[in-house]
Structure 1
Amino acid sequence: MVLQPPVQPMLAQAAEMIPPPGALREPAYEQKFDGHRMLVFTPAGPGGRVLLQTRRGALVQDRFPDLVAAAEQLPHGLVLDGETLVWDSEAGALSFEGLQRRASASSRTAAALAARLPAYFVAFDILQADGTELLTLPYRERRRRLEVLFAACELTAPWTLCPMTTDVAKAREWLESWTDVSGVEGILVKGMNQRYLPNFRGWTKIRRRDTTEAVIGAITGTLSRPQLLVLGRHDAAGRLRTIGRTVPLRPEQAPQVSEHLAPAEPGHPWEGALFAAAWGSRDVLDATLVRPNLVAEISADRSIDHGGVYRHPLRFKRLRLDVAVEDVPTFGRGSNAATD
């Protein structure tokens, strides 16, 4: 059967660490990139259209004319699964914000944005070749065919083959070191014998998490029973800037925090500010400002925009009563910790 969009991609479940030996038969490890999931469909023959499908099934080829044009390098009847990334030449780094702009562009502005923010596609799976569906093949065979495709067609940018290894030591190195590279946020674990199962969470994703510090500037709930924390860092001009919020505090954490909270005094730097319930969301938190003199130790992943705001909720670990607000990393420093 020839695959046609929408095709539901296979999904991954989150884990805190690499599964121990024996947990998965013949595991394979791929680098996990911080982009947008995308399926690329090339036409069955000359004259057909290249289609680009998002994870949720929307067709977005009009927003990525550079990828459509580059698909001339690809053979007919092909379906690739992978991650789309965007390079910001001014910043000299991969840009999730730029990717968001590309993904929401109109057909009138898409070409201009493509010139300034070119897109790249990191392929990690092949679902169809020469018009033949490959979902029932084991991952080892699909990966072999993907590697043959890249070698035979001598594919170059914007097409990139996702790095893969079966060496767990190499995977740990990627998780610990490669995640320092812009755009790499962790690893994905697959079974070499796994079939491709649409809409099934059969893979495992591990994001690197770092411990760092931030200032508590607001809470939800009450001073006696805080629910979550809104965190900030000072920028170079000394202004307290919001960097994100925590997940809800655990029952034993709330009293530890409430014991030290104090109501905000007049002139709080966030007076009149609204706090998004999630990164990119229009929903706002019902927040209460507090005196910004407490430092929280937090656990954070590497999904940070160029402005220094964390895109995923943070995890509160403990108060750092031994760390002064002035010793917290400055806004935009990412996960660089203030102390050992």
Structure 2
Amino acid sequence: MTWTLPEPMLSTPTPRPDLPPGMAGEPKWDGYRALLSVAEGRVELRSRRGTDLRAAFPEILTGAAQLRDGTALDGELVVWEEGRLAFERLQHRMQRRGTGAARAASEWPAHFVAFDLLRLNGNDVTNWPYRRRRTALESVFSARRLTAPWTLCPSTTDQDVVDEWLTWEAVGMEGVIYKRLTEPYRPGARGWLKYKPRETTEAIVGAITGALASPRTLLLARYDTSGCLQYVGRTTTLTTATSTNVAPLLTAAAAEHPWTGWTFSAGWGSRETLDVTLVQPDVVGEVGVDVARDNAGRWRHPVRWHRPRTDLSPADIPRIAPR
């Protein structure tokens, strides 16, 4: 019977950073979730949604020669640049094929950070508890003496270690994943917990989606040190109450706006462009953001609008480096 890669096990958010009893913690990497299988000399590399990633990451295929036949791993593809995780480099690599992919692999090599074992020596081990799968995964790394592109994800049951991981924001870590020690790997189930630290900061509203009288989302900005208004991120969809509260503060842009002629993507990796209305960049708001940023300082994930800061002007907002 042919073995196929299962759907990945998923997580649900938790508001607390404390390591729950009976669980282990792992760093949450800012990369692309990927599942890999080596069976009868054939390598599979698939994304969380089942996309075939082999053509984009030839160095992972080459590295699979280090693995024993009948091995399957769950993990994260990451790219490092100048000492931090570079998600945008990883995203660009997703589009490369052939010689372009080979060149990109040389320029921005990817690593596969393995955090779970799905198959060992041809045997499906997803029904094993996490504790047993983790011990076996560590044995795979030590017995095979795996080197790049393979990296073993750390795991701990020590709160002090978790607290240390949560200080790794500067290198692009997104938070911590918690996994129950006695739980099997349940494909497609949201059995893990995910904690992502958030911070509160301020930004300027530069444009909106939706109608001016009832904005749907807000496009946020900050001035750089050269005086240019730079896009830094977009809010989640506003509640009706929040939209009603913000709308009276917004004014349609005058003839000249710093973003005139610009287009904005609907999201990371999307070719869909947003239909936006430019507004006068004079409204400041308090927002909640997580630690995922690109090298230009933009927030990669949608941010949460908390409240207008009518006590602040755009001049009060810290400036960012020019792009």
Give the structure 2 partner of residue 66 of structure 1.
Answer: 59
> How far is 1:248 from its partner?
2.1
Give the structure 1 partner of residue 8 of structure 2.
Answer: 9
Whether the 8 Å CA contact 1:2–1:133 is kept in 2: the answer is: no
Pick aligned residue for 1:35 from 31, 38, 41 = 31
1:108 is the counterpart of 2:99: yes
* 3-state secondary structure, aligned to 2:39: coil
* 3-state secondary structure, aligned to 2:98: coil
RMSD of the alignment, in Å?
2.1
Give the structure 2 partner of residue 54 of structure 1.
Answer: 47
Structure 1 CA distance for aligned equivalents of residues 263 and 63 of structure 2:
42
Report the TM-score, using the length of structure 1 for normalisation: 0.87
Structure 2 CA distance for aligned equivalents of residues 62 and 271 of structure 1:
38
Aligned residues: 322
Runs of 4+ in 1 over 4 A off after TM superposition: none
Whether the 8 Å CA contact 1:2–1:131 is kept in 2: the answer is: no
* Structure 1 alignment gaps of length 5 or more: 334-340
Q: C-alpha offsets along residues 55-105 of structure 1, whole Å, 9 cap, x if unaligned?
A: 2223322321212222222222111110011123xx453211111122221
Task: Single out whichever of 117-126 and 322-331 deviates more from structure 2.
Answer: 322-331
1:76 is the counterpart of 2:76: no
Structure 2 CA distance for aligned equivalents of residues 57 and 221 of structure 1:
33
Equivalence map 1:47-196=2 (5 Å): 48-88=41-81, 91-175=82-166, 177-182=167-172, 184-196=173-185
* 3-state secondary structure, aligned to 1:164: coil
Give the structure 2 partner of residue 336 of structure 1.
Answer: none
Letter in 1 for 2:128: L
> How far is 1:302 from its partner?
1.8
Structure 2 CA distance for aligned equivalents of residues 116 and 274 of structure 1:
29
Structure 2 CA distance for aligned equivalents of residues 132 and 242 of structure 1:
49
> How far is 1:207 from its partner?
1.6
Whether the 8 Å CA contact 2:56–2:93 is kept in 1: the answer is: yes
Give the structure 2 partner of residue 216 of structure 1.
Answer: 205
> How far is 1:156 from its partner?
2.4
Letter in 1 for 2:231: T
Q: C-alpha offsets along residues 176-202 of structure 1, whole Å, 9 cap, x if unaligned?
A: x123322x1111111001111111111
* Structure 2 alignment gaps of length 5 or more: none
Q: 1:172 to 1:61 in 2, by over 3 A?
A: same
Q: 1:287 to 1:110 in 2, by over 3 A?
A: closer
1:293 is the counterpart of 2:282: yes
> How far is 1:129 from its partner?
0.8
Q: 1:323 to 1:173 in 2, by over 3 A?
A: farther
Q: 1:186 to 1:59 in 2, by over 3 A?
A: same
Structure 2 CA distance for aligned equivalents of residues 110 and 225 of structure 1:
44
Equivalence map 1:239-254=2 (5 Å): 239-254=228-243
